[in-house]
Chain A
Amino acid sequence: DTGVSQNPRHKITKRGQNVTFRCDPISEHNRLYWYRQTLGQGPEFLTYFQNEAQLEKSRLLSDRFSAERPKGSFSTLEIQRTEQGDSAMYLCASSRNGFGNQETQYFGPGTRLLVL
């Protein structure tokens, strides 16, 4: 399977715990994006990387959230001191750098987080 993969697919945690999610993009894609999606809403942009550089972070990304892409390949998203409001689907997408409509994002299956 050469698509975007995410692990774990599901995570249940207690409030206050830290969680970390991993995303493996399509191998030749240099851009990697993290989104959060809640029921009835579209994906909300969190952050994105070009290679190992984190180029943009949304205001939604509080200081409890941190993302890394140390070698420009896989990425991790960590949430510290989880809150019930963090419960959502966390989606990763990757793309090859391009202009306008040439840059298509492909999504992974997501990690569904439930904070109790």
Chain B
Amino acid sequence: RKEVEQDPGPFNVPEGATVAFNCTYSNSASQSFFWYRQDCRKEPKLLMSVYSSGNEDGRFTAQLNRASQYISLLIRDSKLSDSATYLCVVRDDMRFGAGTRLTVKP
């Protein structure tokens, strides 16, 4: 089993939709999690940290479920500009997931 797993997608959603991605991890001792977005042929850019209590940044909400060992990213009111690949990372192990591709369509 891979140590950090993501559904590769693609997720194709209309503008304004709400979409959620999950990312499972195998190391139960992991403490530090992040979401990055990566545009085609560009470097990953930090989207948000994932805190134990959950955190929100505008249309984006990140949550951590320690019992089931996954983190989630929720995007509300999706925009065309949200089209990208979303990478989760477990910083303790320095392991990235393979990414989930999102395409938002008009």
Are A109 and B43 in touch, CB under 8 angstroms? yes
Q: Which of B50, B51, B99 contacts A42 (CB 8 A)?
A: B99
Could you say which residues of chain A place their CB within 8 Å of the CB of B45? 107
- Please report the number of residue pairs spanning A and B whose Cβ atoms sit closer than 8 angstroms: 50
| Interface residues contributed by chain B, number (CB under 8 Å) | 23
CB within 8 Å of B: which A58-116 residues: 91, 100-101, 103-110
Give complex CA distance A112, B43 in Å.
Answer: 11
Number of interface residues of A (CB under 8 A): 21
Q: How many angstroms between the C-alpha atoms of A45 and B96 in the bound complex?
A: 8
Q: Which chain B positions have C-beta within 8 A of A104? A: 34, 46, 49
A-side contacts of B44, CB under 8 Å: 43, 91, 107
- The answer, yes or no, to whether B94 is at the interface (CB within 8 Å) is yes
> Given contacts A91-B43, A107-B44, A108-B43, is CB(A101)–CB(B87) below 8 Å?
no
Interface residues of B (CB under 8 A from A): 4, 8, 31-34, 42-46, 49-51, 87, 89, 91, 94-99
